[in-house]
Structure formats: structure tokens, C-alpha cells
């Protein structure tokens, strides 16, 4: 009787505390074993009960606002690109045609692009194509509403080039990337990193003085002729708009050639 009475007294004093501690430990163990899922579900249930569900009209209105915001951002970006092109001094002549890029194959990314302007606006085979930064390529095929452009970076494209500072000459060969190779005519050319490179006055396919890029490195030991690695200045990898302008050197024989021309000045296979 004494033990039972003592136990009951002890339980009356500490039983509630023991029960609460047991419940707390059980809940903690349950949360640990379920990674807090019951608590998360309880929170979701309470939040849903407090917040009223949005109506169909609200959902449609929110989606429409997001669509308009995306369209506005895209229009702002395109407007910025167009203003930059139109303000670029080398590409601002009245006879130039502003054209969007509408076609580009992933496996021919550095080779050619398709424009949404053609002979109906005066574009001809052989016309020069440029962008902010300088030369992009030239038109090789035209329909009334489209033009195909052979890019400067196509390995089949060879462009007569000159180092602006020293007037060292050679030809530029594309290599399917934003870096091209300039093969130099002099055995010991006056060229150094950072030099600007433009189209040559001896070129049969392009007017002289169009910016091409800058010299990144030189290999004087390259055989049979020294070579320089040229960083193309136009953003050819991400073109969206270009400017097409008439080519004063346009002649039928050059226009019909889709890749390069040859010279009598010792060129291997390209535009001097």
C-alpha cells in the first residue's frame, strides 16, 4: 500500500511532464524520420485556408502581364541592336540594306547565314555584309526575298588582309570559330599582338579598309609562311541583324565565285 501510494503521489507530480516530454520526443523523431514532411503539409494546409484561391480571371491576367513584359524586353533589345547598327559610321550609307538573320544551321553555324532581304530591295551577289565591328562576309546567292551569306569564318572563305600599322599583307582563312588565321606574305613581317587588321586594297572581292579584327598571336616559324591568329571583331557567333551594302569591286566573274579568287601575286588559294 505504501509503495502504491508513493507511486501515485509521484505520478501526480511528474506524470504530466513525462507525458509532454514523451510526446515531444516522439514528434521530434517523426519529423527526423520523415524529413519534416508532416510539418510542411500542415503549413500548406494552414496557408491555403488563409489565402483565397486566385480566380481564373486573375490567373489569365497574370499570364498576360508576364507575356507583355517578355515582349517589351525583347523589343527593347532589338531596338538597341538596330540603333547601334544604324549609328555605326562604316555602315550608315543610304544605299545600305538592314536585314535580319532568319536562318542558320547548327552544323553550319560558322559557315553561312540566311537573310530576310533579297533582290527586291537591291541586294546582289557579291555585296558586302557587315555588322558592328566590321566585316561579316559576302552575299553568294540571292532570291527576290532572301540572301545567303558566306561568312568570314567559313574555312572556304579567304580574304585579302592588311595590318593597318605596318601595311604587312597576307590573306585571312576562316577556321569555323571566332578566331581566323592570317597567312602573311613576308618571311619576317612587321606585325605584333594588338595590331588592327583590315581588308586589303589588292582584294578582288572586298573594298579596302573594312575592319576585320585584331592580332592575338604570331607564329613566325610556321611553314611555308608565317601566320598570325586574328580575333574577329564582329559578333559572328550571335548575329541577329546585319547591314548589306553594295560592293564597288563587284564584277560578274568575282560575283559568280562563291568562295575565293586567285591572284598573280603568289597567293596559295584565296583573295589577295
3 state SS of 107: helix
User: In the chain, what are the domain boundaries?
Assistant: 103-260
Strand (E) positions, the chain? 97-103, 112-115, 128-131, 134-142, 147-151, 158-163, 169-173, 179-184, 196-199, 211-219, 227-232, 241-245
pLDDT at residue 261 is higher than 80: no
How far is C-alpha 242 from the geometric centre of its chain's CA atoms?
Answer: 14
Reply yes or no: is the peptide bond before residue 224 cis, omega within 30 of 0: yes
3 state SS of 52: coil
Q: Out of 2.40.10.340, 2.40.10.350, 3.30.70.2190, 3.40.50.300, select the CATH number for domain 103-260.
A: 2.40.10.350
**113-153: pLDDT as tens digits:** 999 999 999 999 999 999 888 899 999 999 999 999 999 99
**170-228: pLDDT as tens digits:** 999 999 899 999 999 999 999 999 999 999 988 888 988 899 999 999 999 888 899 99
pLDDT at residue 255 is higher than 60: no
With cell 538573320, the residue in question is 101
3 state SS of 126: coil
- What angle (nearest 5°) sits at the alpha carbon of residue 51, between those of residues 46 and 54? 135
Overall residue count recorded for the chain in this entry: 272
pLDDT attached to residue 52: 55
Amino acid at each position: 500500500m505504501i509503495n502504491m501510494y508513493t507511486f501515485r503521489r509521484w505520478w501526480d507530480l511528474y506524470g504530466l511532464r513525462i507525458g509532454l516530454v514523451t510526446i515531444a520526443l516522439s514528434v521530434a523523431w517523426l519529423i527526423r524520420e520523415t524529413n519534416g514532411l508532416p510539418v510542411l503539409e500542415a503549413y500548406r494546409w494552414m496557408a491555403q485556408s488563409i489565402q483565397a484561391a486566385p480566380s481564373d480571371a486573375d490567373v489569365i491576367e497574370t499570364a498576360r502581364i508576364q507575356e507583355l513584359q517578355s515582349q517589351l524586353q525583347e523589343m527593347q533589345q532589338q531596338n538597341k541592336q538596330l540603333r547601334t547598327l544604324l549609328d555605326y559610321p562604316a555602315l550608315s550609307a543610304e544605299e545600305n540594306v538592314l536585314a535580319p538573320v532568319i536562318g542558320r544551321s547548327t552544323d553550319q553555324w560558322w559557315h553561312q547565314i540566311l537573310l530576310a532581304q533579297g533582290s527586291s530591295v537591291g541586294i546582289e551577289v557579291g555585296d558586302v555584309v557587315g555588322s558592328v565591328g566590321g566585316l561579316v562576309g559576302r552575299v553568294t546567292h540571292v532570291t527576290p526575298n532572301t540572301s545567303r551569306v558566306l561568312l568570314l569564318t567559313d574555312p572556304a572563305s579567304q580574304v585579302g588582309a592588311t595590318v593597318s600599322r605596318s601595311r604587312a599583307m597576307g590573306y585571312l582563312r576562316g577556321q569555323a570559330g571566332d578566331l581566323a588565321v592570317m597567312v602573311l606574305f613576308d618571311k619576317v613581317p612587321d606585325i605584333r599582338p594588338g595590331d588592327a587588321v583590315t581588308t586589303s586594297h589588292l582584294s578582288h572581292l572586298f573594298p579596302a579598309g573594312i575592319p576585320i579584327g585584331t592580332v592575338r598571336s604570331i607564329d613566325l616559324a610556321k611553314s611555308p609562311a608565317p601566320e598570325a591568329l586574328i580575333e574577329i571583331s564582329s559578333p559572328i557567333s550571335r548575329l541577329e541583324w546585319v547591314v548589306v551594302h553594295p560592293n564597288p569591286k563587284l564584277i560578274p566573274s568575282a560575283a559568280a565565285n562563291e568562295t575565293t579568287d586567285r591572284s598573280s601575286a603568289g597567293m596559295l588559294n584565296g583573295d589577295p
